[in-house]
Every structure is written in C-alpha cells, then in structure tokens.
C-alpha cells in the first residue's frame, strides 16, 4: 500500500517538468486560436440568442409589459408612456435605429414607425395627457395587436426568436411553437438542399476518385507525380479564373453546347450554366483531389501482394477487389468523405456565382444576412444549425466507421 | 546446364511444368531471366536457389501468371498457359510476406479460395476445419492474422494455398521472415506436407541449407540464367560451374593455369608460385595455358595428411583457430592463397595444432575441382569463396 503511494508520487514528480514543457509548447497556438477563432466565433454564435439591444434600450417598456397578455387588447396608458419615454431616450443615445431594426425583424414594415415615433417622442411631440390616444392617432400602426405581442413575447435578455426562425418555426401569441406560414418557410428546404448537394458531390467524388487512386498507386513514381500535379491544378487556380472557365465552358454557345450540336445530339443549346449540373461540376472539380489523396494515402499502405494472392486463389478480379481491396480502402473513403462533405456543406461563393436561384446553399443565406441585412441574430442561428448538422454528420461517420471496423474485426 | 544423369536416364518422366526458352525483360534492355529451359516432374520438390536479383521471383511470377514472358513458352501438363489469367491457373501461391488478408479471420482467409470457387457453405466449413487440423491451428480460426505469431501466419498462408487442392504449389521464400529455430521446424513441416500430399512444390530461397535439406532437385540461378539443375548432392559434390561451386557451401579458390591432361578426369594445374596440382576438371578445356580456378572444400582438406593419400598439398601457416561448436575452423596462409579454410571435426582436436604453426594442407584429386576462369571473371574470388554460410 505504502509502496504504491511512493511509486505514484515519484511517478508524478518525474512527470511534472515535462508536462510544463508540454503546456508551454501548446500555449502560443492555444492563445492564438482562442483570440482569433474560438472567442470571435463564440461571440458570433451568442448573437443567435442575444436580445440585449432590444431589452436594454426599452427598460421601462419591459417592466410595463411584464404582465400584459395579447388577450388584454391594446396596452394601456402606462405602457405607452413607458414606450414613448424609452424611445425618446433611445433617440437621444442614437440607439433608435437598432431598436427599429430589431422590431422590424419581428414585424416587417415597422422600421419607420419606430424611428418616427422615437423622433417625435424625443422632441416631446406627444401631449402628456391622453398620450395613448395621441400616439394612436398619429401612428395607427401602434394599434396593431400583432405588433404588441411580437414585442412583448420577446422582451427577455435571451431570445429564441432567431433560432426558431432558422428552422421555419415561430412562437404564436399564446406562447406555442408553430410553423411559419408556407410562403415564408425557406430554411428547412435550403438545409435539405445543402445536405443533398453535399451527399451527391461526396458520392460522385468517391466513384471518380477510386480508379484515379488505383492508377496513381500502380504508376511508376514519376508518372504518379505528374498525375498528382494534374489533379492539383484546379486547386491552385484562383476562384476567379475557375469561374470564368466554367462560364466559357458551359454558356449557351460554349464548347460543350456547340460540340453537342455539331454532333447532332441536341438541336438547341442546353441550359448548362446556372443549373444544378454546373454547380456539381464546379464543386467536384475542387473537392475531388481531397478524396483522391485520402484514398491514395490509405492505398499506398496496402501490400500489392494481397491482390495477387486473392487472384492466385482463384478469385475473379472484381470479386477480389470487393472482398480484399475495398475493405482496406474503406478508412480512406471515410476520411475523404468527411472532408469533402464538410467542405461541400460550407460552399457559398461557387453556388452564388454559377448556381441558379434554386442552387443556393445555406452558407449563401448566412452571408446574405451577415452582410446585406445585418440580421446577425438570424445569420448566427443558421450557423448554429449548420454546426449542429456538422456534428451530426461527424457522429454518423464515427458510428458507421465504428460499426464497419467492428464488422471487419469481429 | 545439363540435368544429372540419374534423372534423365529414367524413361517415363511425368513432366508437370515445362519452361522452354523462357526469357523476361522488364525494360527491354537487360534480361531478368534468360533462356530458361526447365522440366519439372510431377510430385517433385524443386527449389530455385540463387543470390538476390537472380530472377527467382520473376520465374515464379511468370508461372503464377503475374508476369508475361518476353520470350519462350511455359506449359503445365503439356498445355501452354502463357495466356491463361492468374486466377484460372489453379496454382497455390505462398508469398514471403504471407499476404494474408488482414481484415479477415483465419477461417475467412481459408474460406476465400473456396468461396471464389462457389463451394457450398457446409463444404467450405468441412474443408476449413480439415485444413486447420492439418496445420494445427484448430483453436485459432477466429483470430485475425495480426494476432498470430510469424510461424502461425506462415502456416495459415500455406493452408490457404493448399485448401483448394492445387496440383502445383509455388512458394517464394516462405520462411524468410522467421527466426532460425522456427525456420528449421517449418522446413520439416513443409517437407512432411509435400511428402503426404504428393503435389508438385516449387520453392524459392536464397538459403542454400534450406535448398539442400528440403529439395528433390535444386535449380541454381545466377543473373537470370540457370547454372545447374541437380539433386542436392549433385550441386554440392559435382558443381558444373564455378558459380555453383562458390555459391553452394564454402570453397577455397586458387587461380592457376592448365598444364595439360594425362588421364581422363584428371588435369594438371600450375599455380602462380610454380606449384603443380592434380585435379578433376569440371567445366574447363584441357588445352594448356587456359586460366583456371581450382576449388577445394574446407572439410575435404586435411592438415598434416599422408601425401600418398592426399597428393595435392601446400605449405601453410596457421593464422587462426576458431571453435564453432560442431567443428573447428582453421584458417591458414600460404604463398599461393591467404585465408585457406580447413574444417576439422571436433574430435580431431587431438591433432594438437597451434596458431603460428607451419603445416602441410593436403587433399585428394577427386576433391579438387577445376573451372574455366573466364566465365567467372566478374566474380571476386574472395567475395564468394569464403563469404557464404
Ligand atoms: N517489376 C520489375 N520491374 C523492373 N525490374 C524488375 C522488376 N521485378 C524484378 N526486376 C529485376 O529483375 C531482376 C530479377 O529480380 P527477381 O525479383 O526475380 O530476383 P530474385 O531472384 O527473386 O531476388 P531476391 O532473392 O532478392 O528476391 C532484378 O534485377 C530486378 O531488379
Ligand atoms: Mg524474390
């Protein structure tokens, strides 16, 4: 017993200095990553639930609306007084724009209503008596019960509004979750499309990569080098050049269409660009090398004698490949698929440039809400869904790999 | 390249495999295998022996169907198989690295050739069980290859090559990766298996002891050319080329010039020192003046022997006495050759020799073989003369 403790403490003593070295080795990179990546990403992701812009700029309204329910009808004098006071303060602090934006995100078309109300409130333009009536007379939109319940529903420091919206859900005035009206629902469909495009791209990459990887592994070293260089060309080419190439190639009177027409296969130009087809071509062109290299890396480690042995044992080539080669290549296919799929999920410039409107993927929407409408709450929520999707895919990969290896281990 | 008389005299040779003028060149310049003529008898244990790069694997791979001959023809049972794909040749093949399928269990590895032949399930199980018994691995059937020792993997590889009952089994240095002890045990097992099954084995090795102990016949390769095909004692006792003499076992080599021949099977050689030796010509013209190589096996040379019985002799000084266990090596220097090796039996230690002592080394005429030196010009005498074993 005593011996055990002694040995352990000696063991720990012996280990401590090297642990410090270990920490020192890691520290600069860890600090760099935390400062430049994890912290900003966490900040951005927090935007999906952050409601402080609304809550902190409407402190009185928050209190006044605390007990209000939409069944009570249009709020009373006290609420209007609180709102007018809050908006006047917000205008004075230059925060009326952001409040207007946040309310507008919830009820579209209320931006000017809020800004104008704030401006008049700041000037003291509303009479103190019968304030409610006064406001309603000038801005009849404040008599909209939907607007009030949208505001009242969401006057908490943390909001679920954006997250719900990112999966086409909303909270109705009763506090129940429901789907948004059909004409507003877009994101689930875009997520589905994104996943589908990524799956198709991954599968096509696997099918195209296998023979190429075989060729590279079988080739003499200098031939293999040439092949690898050729494969890498698309990756080395700038996005702009590649995009122009696709446009030239795929346009109505481009080489593909004119060749097909010349051969008499078609009689009027096919619509190739701004289609799903052109998107696949562009994505596979860039993602295929990663699949090839993942597979080649694994195949290089498989002894050539295994295939020879399988053949000498009387098995037809295809069967030998299926039973002996493929199971051993599988880890490479898994790795390659994970890389290709994850990259594909995040594509946004390529779909924007050469995909049609029905080819836009989720990242395009994230970029749109981040840059164009500054709806960071929604952009962040969509990012969280994408992240969630990635984790899900990763888990599926891990599990299928586990199941697969278990099967081959047995 | 001639076959030993003992075998060719037999009239009813049942030829199983035949190479006729087979050549293989990978780059169109150098021959990896050249003018290969070889008849392999049914049920024979034939070993291809030769130094690294001499074309043994290439020969085996042409027979197995993984390399196409550049010239000549290969037939099995008098049928040409040059165009038959590897998977239809029905040849059992064992690789040096065993080439067991790492993702399959032992039983699955063994079932593979039977599944490829669409055996029914029950039949496969029966065969697998039977062969596992044969190679004594019955309790290992559900292990994977990396959970087996080297010797066990070797047995699985052999079992897998035998399970579909091929008439011809090829093995490319199957014991190369094993340690000495295990190797010897496996040699015994392999030989035993061969005797029991009566199928033809073609075995590749560069270990001459292995070749000599296991084979019915040995084919000695050098630089893509067969030097000699003969029984183990044939290649050891009656080498036909200086290469074989040097490669198989140890030999003391002395260069000299042919003086002439007075009798059949006897030739007179003059060494550079002027010393005259009587020897047996193996592969040399008896015309005077030809440069020749004289060889003597270390165990056939005797120290301080009776000159009547051992007419050839050199005066030499003992420079080293090495106790090897089952024998003693005595290294001597003389005017004609330095590093002459004599092996004497453990018991003749009674001959009380000492380092620095001057003695006479003697040997018989029949143990002194002479070869044409021109065909061996590219080999350094020192390198092969004493390098092996
Ligand atoms: N695939 C190949 N391409 C080019 N040259 C080859 C190839 N395989 C073998 N060679 C050459 O052919 C010659 C014979 O090779 P081989 O493998 O048959 O020798 P080996 O007798 O089996 O030697 P080892 O005992 O080292 O296995 C060598 O010079 C080798 O370099
Ligand atoms: Mg070899």
Residues A83 and A195 in one domain: no
Q: CB B12: neighbour CB atoms within 10 A?
A: 4
Residues A198 and A340 in one domain: yes
Residues A88 and A122 in one domain: yes
Residues A237 and A325 in one domain: yes
Residue A6 is predicted with a pLDDT of: 58
Residues A241 and A349 in one domain: yes
Note whether B112 contacts A323, CB cutoff 8 Å.
yes
Residues A9 and A113 in one domain: no
Question: Which of B53, B70, B247 for a ligand 1 pocket mutation test, highest count of atoms within 8 Å of Cβ?
Answer: B53
Q: Of B166, B20, B31, which Cα lies nearest the Cα of B82? A: B20
How far is B248 from B212, CA to CA, in rounded Å? 9
pLDDT tens digits for B223-257? 999 999 999 999 999 998 889 998 998 899 998 99
Asked whether the predicted pLDDT for residue B2 surpasses 70, the reply is no
In a domain, A180, yes or no: no
pLDDT tens digits for B68-95? 999 999 999 999 998 899 999 999 999 9
Residues A35 and A60 in one domain: no
Confidence of residue A224 (pLDDT cuts 50, 70, 90): very high
From residue A33, give the alpha-carbon distance in Å to each of A23, A25, A45, A263, B148. Answer: 15, 14, 16, 56, 45
Asked whether the predicted pLDDT for residue B32 surpasses 80, the reply is yes
Q: Which of B99, B105, B164 sits opposite A410 (nearest CB)?
A: B105
CA atoms within 13 A on the CB side of A237: 17
In a domain, A169, yes or no: no
Query: Could you list the residue range(s) of the whole structural domain that residue A41 is in?
Result: 1-46
Determine the distance from the C-alpha atom of residue A329 to the mean position of all C-alpha atoms in its chain, rounded to a whole number: 30
Tokens of B57: 């694997």
Q: Is A306 on the interface with B (CB under 8 A)?
A: yes
In a domain, A113, yes or no: yes
Asked whether the predicted pLDDT for residue B24 surpasses 70, the reply is yes
CATH of the domain at A267: 1.10.3720.10
Note whether A314 contacts B90, CB cutoff 8 Å.
yes
Residues A399 and A327 in one domain: yes
Q: Is A324 on the interface with B (CB under 8 A)?
A: yes
Residues A20 and A38 in one domain: yes
Asked whether the predicted pLDDT for residue A26 surpasses 80, the reply is yes
Residues A126 and A202 in one domain: no
Residues in A touching B95 (Cβ below 8 Å): 305, 308-309
For tokens 């103190």, the residue is A128
Nearest-CA residue for ligand 1 atom 8 is B58
Q: Which of A306, A409, A410 sits opposite B101 (nearest CB)?
A: A306
Does the CA dihedral B160-B162-B167-B173 come out positive or negative?
A: positive
Q: Which of B95, B103, B142 sits opposite A309 (nearest CB)?
A: B95
Q: Of B235, B220, B249, B211, which Cα lies nearest the Cα of B45? A: B211
Structurally, what CATH architecture does the domain formed by B250-378 represent?
Beta Barrel (2.40)
- Exposed/middle/buried for A23, CB within 10 Å: 0-12, 13-18, 19+? exposed
The answer to whether residues B94 and B186 touch, using CB atoms and an 8 Å cutoff, is: no
How far is A6 from B169, CA to CA, in rounded Å? 61
The chain B residue lying nearest A318, using CA atoms, is B116
In a domain, A181, yes or no: no
Residues A306 and A404 in one domain: yes
List, in sequence order, every residue forming a beta bridge with A178; answer none if it has no partner.
A170
Residues A286 and A359 in one domain: yes
Ordered by start, the domain boundaries in chain B are 2-242, 250-378
pTM of the model: 0.79
- What ipTM goes with this model? 0.81
- Exposed/middle/buried for A171, CB within 10 Å: 0-12, 13-18, 19+? middle
Mean pLDDT, chain A, whole residue set: 88
How far is A192 from A180, CA to CA, in rounded Å? 17
* Mean pLDDT value of segment B296-316: 89
Number of domains making up chain A: 3
Residue A14 is predicted with a pLDDT of: 54
Where does B2-242 sit in CATH, by number?
A: 3.40.50.300
In a domain, A332, yes or no: yes
pLDDT tens digits for A320-374? 999 999 999 999 999 999 999 999 998 888 888 888 888 889 998 999 898 888 8
Enumerate residues 6+ apart whose C-beta is below 8 A from B252. Answer: B295, B296, B297, B298, B301, B337, B340, B341, B385, B386
Nearest-CA residue for ligand 1 atom 6 is B26
How far is B138 from B387, CA to CA, in rounded Å? 43
Residues in A touching B172 (Cβ below 8 Å): none
Q: DSSP string spanning B344-380?
A: EEGGGGGS---TT-EEEEEE-STTEEEEESGGGTTS-
Q: DSSP string spanning B86-133?
A: GGGS-EEEE-TT----TTS-HHHHHHHHHHHTT--HHHHHHHHHHHHH
């Amino acid at each position: 017993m005593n011996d055990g403790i002694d040995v352990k403490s000696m063991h720990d003593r012996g280990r401590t200095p090297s642990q410090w070295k270990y920490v020192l080795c890691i520290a600069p990179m860890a600090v760099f990553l935390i400062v430049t990546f994890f912290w900003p990403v966490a900040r951005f992701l927090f935007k999906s639930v952050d409601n402080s812009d609304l809550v902190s700029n409407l402190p009185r309204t928050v209190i006044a609306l605390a007990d209000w329910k939409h069944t009570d009808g249009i709020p009373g004098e006290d609420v209007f007084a609180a709102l007018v006071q809050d908006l006047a303060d917000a205008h004075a602090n230059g925060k009326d724009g952001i409040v207007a934006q946040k309310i507008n995100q919830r009820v579209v078309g209320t931006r000017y209503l809020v800004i104008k109300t704030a401006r008049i409130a700041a000037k003291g333009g509303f009479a103190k008596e019968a304030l409610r009536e006064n406001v309603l007379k000038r801005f009849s939109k404040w008599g909209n019960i939907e607007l009030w319940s949208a505001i009242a529903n969401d006057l908490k420091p943390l909001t679920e509004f954006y997250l719900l919206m990112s999966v086409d859900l909303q909270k109705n005035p009763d506090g129940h979750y429901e789907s948004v009206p059909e004409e507003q629902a877009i994101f689930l469909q875009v997520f589905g499309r994104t996943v589908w495009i990524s799956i198709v791209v991954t599968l096509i990459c696997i099918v195209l990569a296998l023979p190429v990887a075989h060729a590279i592994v079988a080739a003499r070293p200098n031939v293999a080098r040439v092949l690898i260089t050729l494969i890498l060309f698309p990756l080395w080419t700038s996005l702009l050049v590649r995009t122009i190439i696709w446009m030239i190639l795929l346009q109505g009177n481009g080489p593909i269409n004119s060749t097909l027409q010349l051969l008499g296969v078609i009689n009027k130009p096919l619509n190739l660009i701004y289609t799903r087809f052109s998107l696949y071509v562009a994505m596979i062109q860039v993602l295929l090398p990663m699949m090839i290299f993942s597979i080649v890396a694994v195949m290089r480690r498989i002894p050539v004698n295994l295939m020879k042995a399988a053949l000498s044992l009387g098995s037809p080539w295809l069967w030998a490949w299926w039973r002996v080669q493929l199971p051993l290549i599988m880890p490479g296919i898994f790795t390659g698929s994970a890389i290709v799929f994850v990259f594909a999920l995040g594509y946004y410039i390529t779909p924007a440039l050469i995909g049609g409107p029905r080819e836009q993927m989720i990242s395009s929407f994230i970029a749109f809400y981040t840059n164009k409408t500054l709806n960071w709450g929604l952009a962040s929520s969509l990012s969280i869904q994408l992240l969630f999707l990635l984790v899900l895919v990763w888990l599926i990969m891990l599990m299928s790999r586990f199941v697969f290896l278990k099967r081959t281990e047995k | 390249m001639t076959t030993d008389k003992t075998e060719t005299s037999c009239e009813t040779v049942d030829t199983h495999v035949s190479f006729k003028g087979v050549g293989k060149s990978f780059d169109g310049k150098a021959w990896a295998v050249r003018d290969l003529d070889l008849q392999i008898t049914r049920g024979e244990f034939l070993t291809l022996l030769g130094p690294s790069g001499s074309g043994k694997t290439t020969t085996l791979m042409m027979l197995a169907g993984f390399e196409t001959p550049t010239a000549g023809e290969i037939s099995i049972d008098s049928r040409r198989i040059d165009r038959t794909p590897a998977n239809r040749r029905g040849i059992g093949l064992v690789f040096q690295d065993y080439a067991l399928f790492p993702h399959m269990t032992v039983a699955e590895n063994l079932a593979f050739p039977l599944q490829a032949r669409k055996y029914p399930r029950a039949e496969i199980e029966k065969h697998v069980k039977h062969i596992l018994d044969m190679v004594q691995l019955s309790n290992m059937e559900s292990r994977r290859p990396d959970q087996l020792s080297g010797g066990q993997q070797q047995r699985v590889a052999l079992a897998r090559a035998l399970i579909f009952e091929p008439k011809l089994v090829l093995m490319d240095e199957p014991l190369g990766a094993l340690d000495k002890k295990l190797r010897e045990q496996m040699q015994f097992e392999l030989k035993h298996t061969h005797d029991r099954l009566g199928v033809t084995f073609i075995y590749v090795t560069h270990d001459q002891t292995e070749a000599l102990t296991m084979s019915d016949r040995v084919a000695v390769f050098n630089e893509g050319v067969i030097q000699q095909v003969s029984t183990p004692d044939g290649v050891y006792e009656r080498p036909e080329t200086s290469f074989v003499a040097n490669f198989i076992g140890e030999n003391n080599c002395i260069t000299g010039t042919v003086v002439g021949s007075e009798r059949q099977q006897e030739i007179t050689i003059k060494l550079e020192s002027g010393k005259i030796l009587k020897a047996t010509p193996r592969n040399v013209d008896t015309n005077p003046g030809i440069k020749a190589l004289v060889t003597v096996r270390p165990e056939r040379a005797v120290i301080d022997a009776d000159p009547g019985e051992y007419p050839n002799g050199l005066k030499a000084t003992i420079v080293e006495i090495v106790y090897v266990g089952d024998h003693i090596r005595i290294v001597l220097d003389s005017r004609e050759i330095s590093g002459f090796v004599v092996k004497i039996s453990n018991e003749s230690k009674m001959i009380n020799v000492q380092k620095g002592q001057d003695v006479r080394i003697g040997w018989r005429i029949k143990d002194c073989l002479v070869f044409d030196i021109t065909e061996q010009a590219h080999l350094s005498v020192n390198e092969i003369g004493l390098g092996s074993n």
